[in-house]
């Protein structure tokens, strides 16, 4: 009876060992897939950060150009004379000397 139990226990142990080996290979396969996906995501992240840095640099250049042009616009506006007085003069002249 002891030998039968030893044989059954040995067969069960062998089956359990085989199942453990298959389970570990499946686990390592999924781990490989996971690592592969992680690496792909890191590559995508690097690409995105590089393009984001590029966009930020372009953004800074654009902002500096906007500041320069707005400063030019301010200086130009300060040099331009107002035409309100001239329009009033023309209106009063037309009213005064226009033939009715």
Report pLDDT digits (tens) over 42-59.
Answer: 999 999 999 999 999 999
Report pLDDT digits (tens) over 49-86.
Answer: 999 999 999 999 999 999 999 999 998 888 887 777 77
Residue position matching structure tokens 């200086």: 75
**Which range, 27-36, 65-74, 76-85, 90-99, has the best average confidence (pLDDT)?**
65-74
Token code pair at residue 7: 């044989």
pLDDT at 78: 83
Range of the domain at 6: 2-97
CA distance 19 to 33: 21
Q: What is the 3-state secondary structure (H, E, C) of 19-32?
A: HHHHHHHHHHHHHH
Backbone phi, then psi, for 83, in 5-degree steps?
-105, 10
pLDDT at 79: 82
Structurally, the chain folds into a number of domains equal to: 1
**CA-based torsion, 84, 85, 86, 88: positive or negative:** positive
């Amino acid at each position: 009876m002891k030998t039968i139990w030893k044989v059954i226990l040995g067969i069960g142990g062998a089956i359990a060992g085989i199942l453990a080996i298959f389970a570990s290979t499946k686990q390592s396969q999924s781990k490989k897939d996971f690592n592969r996906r992680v690496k792909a995501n890191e590559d995508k992240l690097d690409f995105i950060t590089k393009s984001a840095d590029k966009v930020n640099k372009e953004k800074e250049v654009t902002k500096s150009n906007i500041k320069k042009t707005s400063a030019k616009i301010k200086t130009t506006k300060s040099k331009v004379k107002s035409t309100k007085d001239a329009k009033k003069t023309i209106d009063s002249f037309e009213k005064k000397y226009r033939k009715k």
